[in-house]
Amino acid sequence: MKLELTDNQPLADRIRPKKIDEFFGQNHIRERVEAFERSKRLPSLLLFGPPGCGKSTLAMLLAKSTGRHFMRISAPESGITALRKQLAGMDILILDELHRFSKAQQDFFLPILESGEITLLATTTENPSFSVTRQLLSRLHVLRLRSLGKTDLLAICNRACEELEIELSEDSLNLITSMAGGDGRSLLNLLEYTSQLPAEKREAENLRKILPETVIRGDRDGDSHYELASALIKSIRGSDPDAALYYLGCLIESGEDPKFITRRLIISAGEDIGLADPYAMTMAVSCQQAVEFIGMPEGFIPLSEAVVYLALAPKSNSTYAAYHTVKQEIRQNGMLPVPLHLRNATTSLQKEWGYGRNYLYPHSYPNSYVEQEYLPPEIADRMFYDPKDQGEEPRLNAWLKGQRRPRRQRKRPEPKKWGK
């Protein structure tokens, strides 16, 4: 299938490589791609990666290398009925945005891939583990592509400048590549815009003022969404306010829903800070309320304050770990009956059964505390909460230690690594 170029084509199409040797980037999968190119029969592939990394270009190069008939469509453009007719006489289908097909639509490909009737070269920006059916995924070789690095972007810049017949300074090239954010398509759009400017306006100092503001794409259903959120929380957990602010900025500037961010901050306040600074939870919840009240873009102000506070706060995951220990106990041994003295006797029959008998009311004793057993007798020697010597937690535990009289030692469970 020959693709005719016209003067009206975008720069990205005009300089699209004609063979794999001209393809820049993705060196980590280069050997596999070259092996597929040399193979007698091209297998069905799924190319997964962020926008502008070369997924469709690579698929087209592989299809062309076979010398067989192929066609390229985008999933949103075609229904299954129309696609079935279009495939007549075709050997290879290049399908962009496979994730836009429903699970039922994806099932259409199962028999034709199984029989070898068609070779599918599909692309997606979303994690195929969640967006592609398990049955279809098992029939595809997955190639994971990465955002383009600076070296690759500069190489593309040089090729584009030759096509556009312009010369740019090193500073201008560095500026444009940094604004592209690893996206080759955005890079070429910026270059095409730059080529239309007068020569004196193409210097870096002027370009900073006049280049269109690039929009950082947020991939809410893809890996970057979760990777940024994970990096934010781990930076808070690691007490690094600079890194935490940076990842907060990445989330906000990519258009992330602030409700998602505040939810993660509230979780972090309870999981990673806990009783070392009980005010951290108040700060996180107040941040959520403030952001909801004032909205964006000003919401970055309370978000920044909360993120820095949480990063600087002392850390303790004792309550988080304690709950997991309790959950493990319940799942292993089941829920044990509540001791009779802790049950409320609401009927005369329950009183006869001993409900509430011998219960000691703490407020009737000095300091509103009295020794009695609260756990079921089968696990009375277990200790689930293991306090840490961090922040406010020692102070909170000091009162209880001072009230308790010597008693049998409770057993601590085997230490677990509760965390992510």
Helix (H) or strand (E) holding 247: helix 241-253
Which among 312, 329, 354 is the end of a domain? 312
CATH of the domain at 107: 3.40.50.300
pLDDT for res 1:
39
Same domain, 304 and 241: yes
31 and 131 housed in the same domain: yes
Read off the pLDDT of residues 201-230 as tens digits, 9 standing for 90 and up: 888 888 887 776 554 444 444 556 678 888
Give pLDDT, residue 403: 63
Q: 3-state secondary structure string, 63-101? A: HHHHCCCEEEEEHHHCCHHHHHHHCCCCCEEEEECHHHC
Is 418 part of any domain?
Answer: no
Query: Distance between alpha carbon 237 and the CA centroid of its chain, in Å?
Result: 17
- Residue 360 placed within a domain: no
Is residue 25 a contact partner of residue 149, using CB atoms and an 8 Å limit? yes
Same domain, 31 and 137: yes
Helix axis angle, 241-253 relative to 223-237, nearest 10°? 160
Tokens for 284? 């996180």
pLDDT digits (tens, 9 = 90+) for 315-339: 999 899 999 989 988 888 888 888 9
Residues 85 and 140 in one domain: yes
Q: 139 and 185 in one domain? A: no
Cα–Cα distance between 69 and 67 in angstroms, integer? 7
Q: Does 130 lie in the same domain as 30?
A: yes
Provide the residue range defining the domain that includes 306.
Answer: 223-312
Q: Which amino acid would we find at residue 319?
A: T
Residues counted in the chain: 420
Question: How many domains would you assign to the chain?
Answer: 3
pLDDT digits (tens, 9 = 90+) for 82-125: 888 888 888 999 999 898 888 888 999 999 998 888 999 999 98
Beta strand 70-74 with 92-96 is parallel
Q: Look at residue 400 and tell me whether its pLDDT is greater than 80.
A: no
Same domain, 118 and 154: no
pLDDT tens digit string along 152-191? Answer: 999 999 889 888 888 888 888 888 888 887 888 888 888 8
User: SS3 of 49, please?
Assistant: coil
Of 94, 124, 144, the residue that ends a domain is 144
Are 182 and 262 contained in the same domain?
Answer: no
For residue 74, the cross-strand partners are 96
Q: Any idea which of 228-242, 352-366, 397-411 has the lowest mean pLDDT?
A: 397-411
- Tell me how far the alpha carbon of residue 336 is from its chain's centroid: 39
Do the beta carbons of residue 331 and residue 325 sit within 8 Å? no
Tokens of 239: 């007490």
Amino acid in position 51: P
For residues 124 and 74, membership in a common domain is answered with: yes
Residue-wise pLDDT tens digits, 129-145 = 888 999 999 999 999 99
Token pair, residue 308, equals 């820095």
Q: How far apart are the first and last CA of the chain?
A: 49
CATH, residue 290: 1.20.272.10
In a domain, 333, yes or no: no
Tokens of 108: 């259409």
CB 159, CB 133: distance < 8 Å? no
Same-domain status, 40 and 129? yes
> Quick check: is 350 in a domain?
no
Lowest average pLDDT, out of 45-49, 68-72, 370-374, goes to 370-374
Torsions phi, psi for 47 (to 5 deg) = -100, 115
Alpha-carbon span 229 to 420, nearest angstrom:
12
Verify that 83 and 136 share a domain, yes or no.
Answer: yes
Contact indicator for 222, 125 with CB cutoff of 8 Å? yes
384 inside domain? no
Same domain membership, residue 43 and residue 140: yes
Question: 334: helix, coil or strand?
Answer: coil
Among 45-49, 219-223, 349-353, 376-380, the range of highest mean pLDDT = 45-49
**Domain contains 323:** no
- Give the Cα separation of 135 and 44 in Å (integer): 13
Is pLDDT above 90 for 346?
no
Q: Please report which confidence band the pLDDT of residue 375 belongs to, taking 50, 70 and 90 as the band edges.
A: confident
Q: Tell me the average pLDDT across 386-410.
A: 71
Q: In this predicted model, what pLDDT tens digit does every residue of 273-303 receive, in sequence order?
A: 999 999 999 999 999 999 999 988 899 999 9
Chosen domain end from 261, 295, 312: 312
User: C-alpha angle 253/257/261, rounded to 5°?
Assistant: 90
Are the C-beta atoms of 49 and 55 separated by less than 8 Å?
yes
Amino acid identity, residue 162?
E
